[in-house]
Amino acid sequence: MFQLTAENSKTFQGIPLSVLDLAPINEGSDATTSFQHSVALAQHTENLGFNRYWLAEHHSMPGIASSATSVIISHIANHTERIRIGSGGIMLPNHASLVIAEQFGTLASLFPGRIDLGLGRAPGSDHMTSYALRRDLRQRVEEFPSQVEELQDYFAGTAMVQAVPGEGADIPIWLLGSSDFSARLSAEKGLPFSFASHFAPDYMDAALNLYRRNFNPSDDLDKPYTMLGVNVIAADSQEEAEYLATSQDQQFLALRRGTPGKLQPPLKNTKEAFSSIESAAIAKKNLSRATIIGNLDTVRVKLARFIEETKADEIIINSQIFDPQKRLHSYDLVAELFE
């Protein structure tokens, strides 16, 4: 069993800590309130010294407000001063590469040196919504590598068409993934790689090994750089953390049932709400290395173990907590470890 010692407590030193915000819409609330909570979290984590604040593109999901990702990035950047703001990620097959180059070129012009562009190839929703976004679904995902190349050409000024703003912009490009596809492409292009271990932990080790083994140094990056997603629900007591985590559990089950909805308040008694099969699925998820629920001591030990085992260069934390004040406090507790 992993034990936290004086030596491996140094694990946290020098590891940047970042935020993944899915802009949750709480039951009984709306998108306006969600964005207010996101601003409060961004300002709070900036003051705590967090490195990045990323928002993810999702569509047709009643509980996630970040569909117009570039717009929300601008809103958050406008209400903060130093923390990097970016996409975790933009689902590039949903868009023309030129449009993304112009949008992020505009963001980089408004907020110089603070914008990240994380790219994914998933649709960010179901097949019907993908069709509504793209119309022609043929080969769009397969074209992802050429789309990334095209986007890089717009920023470099080597494309047939100019991206204005965009050409010459200083915008780090990240590739995001939950399998080995983007790991291979990130390695080939010499780009930083962010793995969605917070929802695909079973594929994490294979993807990281593939990326590091095949990394090709580039003008952007001379050695591999990985940022890994972790679900963290931290509270003053183990009991409270487990109670707060039932909101995340309900969201997980809603997706499994094909009935995504708003983020639900926590439950005191889950036996009446979950079947035995659903409870087993939740238990398996919560035992994953990339889901950490507990008090400060629990989070300290499990997060140190995660960093030691994965050799992550950076950690990005997702905390699906219904009460916005409890969510802020969860980040307070994690920040204590990295001081």
pLDDT truncated to tens, each residue of the chain (339 aa)? 334 444 445 778 899 999 999 999 999 999 999 999 999 999 999 999 999 999 999 998 999 999 999 999 999 999 999 999 999 999 999 999 999 999 999 999 999 999 999 999 876 566 777 777 765 655 566 789 999 999 999 999 999 999 999 999 999 999 999 989 999 999 999 999 999 999 899 999 999 999 999 999 999 999 999 999 999 999 999 999 999 999 999 999 998 888 999 999 999 988 888 999 999 999 998 989 999 999 999 999 999 999 999 999 999 999 999 999 999 999 999 999 987
pLDDT for 3: 45
Enter the DSSP assignment of 110.
Answer: H
Q: Three-state SS for 250?
A: helix
Number of continuous H segments (helices) and E segments (strands) in the chain:
11, 9
pLDDT the model gives residue 289: 93
Contact 295, 236 (CB under 8 A): yes
Q: What is this structure's pTM?
A: 0.93
Helix, strand, coil % over all residues of the chain, rounded to 5? 45, 15, 40
192 prior amide bond cis, ω within 30 = no
HSE (CB half, 13 Å, CA atoms) of 33? 13
d(CA 58, CA 244): 24
pLDDT at 139: 53
> In angstroms, rounded to a whole number, what is the distance separating the alpha carbons of residues 18 and 129?
29
**Given 3.40.50.150, 3.10.20.520, 3.40.50.620, 3.20.20.30, which CATH number is that of 8-227+322-338?**
3.20.20.30
If one counts every other C-beta atom within 10 angstroms of the C-beta of residue 277, the result is 9
Which pLDDT belongs to residue 1? 39
Asked if the peptide bond before residue 89 counts as cis, ω within 30 degrees of 0, the response is yes
Rounded CA separation 152/145 (Å): 11
Q: What is the 8-class DSSP label of residue 264?
A: P
> Who's near 295: CB < 8 A, 6+ residues apart?
234, 235, 236, 237, 238, 241
Distance of CA 229 to the CA centre of its chain: 6
